[in-house]
Structure formats: C-alpha cells, structure tokens
Amino acid sequence: MIDWRARGLFVSGICMLNKSDDSKRIVVAGGGFGGAYTWHYLHKYLHGEDGVKLDLINQKNYFVFTPLLHEVATGSVAAPIVTEPLRQVLGCCMNDFYLAEVDRVDLRAGEVYTTQGKIDYDYLVLALGSTTNYFQVPGAESYALALKTLADAIDIKNHFIGQFEAASKVKDRQFRRKLLRFVVVGGGPTGVEMAAEMSDFFFNTFGKLYGRELIKEVEVILIEAGKELLPRMPKSFRSQAVGRLRQRGVKIRLNERVKEVKEKSVRLGSGEEIDTATVIWVAGTKPRQITTWPEAETDDQGRLIVNEAMQLKDWSNVYALGDMARFVNHGQEKPAPALAQVATSQAKGVAGNIAAQLKGRPARSFEYQHAGDLLSLGRWMALAEIKGMFFTGKFAWWLWRTVYLMKLLSWRKKFKVAIDWTFDLFVPRDVSQV
C-alpha cells in the first residue's frame, strides 16, 4: 500500500509531507509583515525539501495589511479587503498553524511557550511586531482610540458615525461642536494619512448626508510634538503634506505635546485644554516584548539586538526582525525604521539564511536598502518617491495603491482587491456601522 504522506504528494488537493521525528522544525512567531513574509520565503526556498517542518504562531488567524487601516476607519475600504486568512494563504505541505500568544522562550532548551502549550524548535524567528506607545501620558490608553489592529479601525469608524448621529440631534451648539471636534495625536505617516482621510470622510461623504449647517461645526486637529510633520520623510513631502491638509480643512498644531487625555478633553503642555470626545492616538509604537531565558540583549526601547545576519547574540538559530528588532546596517549608526518594507525585506534575508544553514552554509549579512516612500493624502491625492523620482497627485495615488496591492500575500486576494478598489472609485464611502 502506498504511503502518500511519506511521498510528499498532493492528495485530494492537499499537499502532504513526511514529518519524521528527526525533521528540522522552523517556528515563526508572528503573522504580520515580518512573520508572514518569512514563512512565505521559507516555503519558497524549502518547498519539496525532505525533513523540514514550518510552524507559524499568531494571535489571530489572519494577516492584516496594516498600511490600509486608516482607510477601513474612514469607510474607503471594507475590513475584509485588508485581511487574509493565514491557513488559506500559508496552507501547504510543510506547515502547521497555532492560534496562540507567545509567552516566553527558553533559548537553551529550544522551546517556545504559548497559550496553546510548548513548541520545540530547531530554528526560531521572532517577528511579533509592536504595540501602541502611549509614552506614559495619563489617560491616553484609557480614553484615546488607537489604530493598530483591525478591531481598532472598526471601532474608530463606528465611533465616527456615532458622533455624527448624536450631533445631528443636539440643539446646543457648544456641545455639538465638542461632539464634532476630532483630535489626531501624532504627525508621522499614519497621523497624516488618517487626518487626510478623516477630512474626506467628514466634509465630503458626511457633508452630503448631514447637511451644511452640521458640517460647519466639524473640526479635525492634528497635533505633533515636533517642529515638522513627517520628520523621517523627504522635505518635499513635509511641505506638500502641510499644504494639502490645510487645504482640506485640517488644523495643524506643531510643537505641542499632549500632557493628558481626559474622557472629554485633551490637555496640552502649554496648559491649553481642547474639549473633544474623540482622540485618535497614533503618536508612536513600541516593540512587543517577551521573556527569554537566558535574557536576550535589548536596547533602551526594548528591541531585541541582532547582528548583521539578524541573529540574536550567542544564538545563531534564533532570528528577530521587524518592529521588535534593533538592526543596524553595516557602517551606519541609526537602526532601520519600523516600516512594513523593512520587515518584508528582512524576512527575505532571514529565510535565505535559515535555508543556507539547513544546507550547512553560513548565514550571510543582511543590508536594508530603502525602496522609497509613499504617502496617501486622501482620495486621488498622494506623494511618492521611488529611487529618487518624485510623483504627486493622481498618478502617485495610483502608484501608492498599486505598490500596496502587490504586497498582499495571495494572488486571489490581489485580484479581489483590485476589483473592489476599481468599483469603489465610482461609489461613495461606506457609512454603515459594523
């Protein structure tokens, strides 16, 4: 009788592989850009190899395309567009998926402890990403709305709709203005993109539904602690972003630090208090931290320090990448930024190194090369810089969406999103609560 599993053949459309006791087990912790792309490249490099097993651990059973969360929050795209089920995308011959949270790692024993139990590994990839950084500002975590997960984006959209519905029934003008005053904290790419989309959502989409008199009361305020928006982006981006936001009615407050977030207001460092029922906190992130034994070396921000091959010090079989790793290119001083393009680039390098080690070759140094910058400023408007070439307007917006479209994991999803995006160009934003 033929043992189909031992022969690694397709049976009933499912790819099977012999999983012997002496197989090498590669465990990837995290299903974001770093983790999902590492798994993708590992599968590409090792597909068909005998005696290799790939495991993925993630808190959710789906991958989230986080650069588009601000569009989910403002009704421009539907939530299913930015997600892909991991079992469908990654399901193949060598892998298993664990819906679990990583608790700690025993580096000496080669064990990962999760909420689903202990998982042994021969090679481990830590790509757990980051969480919202509230910088210990009183009340921020309790009263501000974050934009880090799909649930966050849905909550924000529901909140926006709820505020407009409530304001439409309020006669007191001062209270109505408080309901319709929206504060975004953080002038980085996420804050700028969010403020631009909010402007479109409120002044255009809601403007046709709630009437001019109500929309006159709407305020969108973007607060940045530094002297400029988008400090890490090209200078031309900064000036054009400011001009575009102001043109769309966004009030920009620079050199202002938020000292406290209250249930119905925000207190600034100057002592000024802004009455508002809505604070969107996108001021920064911090690496997701786990316990390791022996304790792995970290920097002052809690990021795992890795060498030029993305490996932990003293542990050549353990890699870390993305937001939770501090990686510095050879000859440079500043670490690579916490960007999706950094994580996906590192993922390819990590997967290549593990594949090489399995074949008895040494890991190679990785070098991150910045591909460019993309910034959305609302429908039909974006800024793009690709290898020194700058684009603005509709072409940049089309380029921004095209690049992001190609970053989706599966062709099935790319095709579906392309159709949905094309259709969405001719219909209003969605204003239904979920």
Q: Which domains does the chain have, with CATH numbers?
A: 4-130+286-370 (3.50.50.60), 140-283 (3.50.50.60), 372-428 (no CATH)
Q: How many CA atoms does the CB half-sphere of 339 hold within 13 Å?
A: 18
Task: List, in order, residues 6 or more apart from 179 with CB less than 8 Å away.
Answer: 163, 166, 167, 170, 277
63 backbone dihedrals φ, ψ, rounded to 5°: -95, 135
**pLDDT value of position 16:** 36
Q: What is the pLDDT of residue 420?
A: 80
Query: What pLDDT is recorded for position 75?
Result: 93
pLDDT at 94: 57
- Amino acid at site 34: G
pLDDT at 4: 29
What is the Cα–Cα distance from 126 to 321, expressed in whole angstroms? 7
pLDDT at 6: 33
Weakly modelled stretches of the chain, pLDDT under 70: 1-21, 91-94
Nearest residue to 188 (alpha-carbon basis) of 280, 113, 275, 97: 280
Strand partners of residue 113: 104, 118
What pLDDT sits at residue 96?
A: 87
Q: Distance between CA 425 and CA 62 in Å, rounded?
A: 26
Query: For residue 58, what are the contacts with CB-CB under 8 A and spacing of at least 6?
Result: 30, 31, 35, 86, 97, 98, 99, 100
- Give the per-residue pLDDT at 265: 98
Position 407 scores a pLDDT of: 86
CA distance 244 to 214: 23
Beta bridge partners of 265: 275
**pLDDT at position 427:** 85
The CA distance from 381 to 307, in Å, is 40
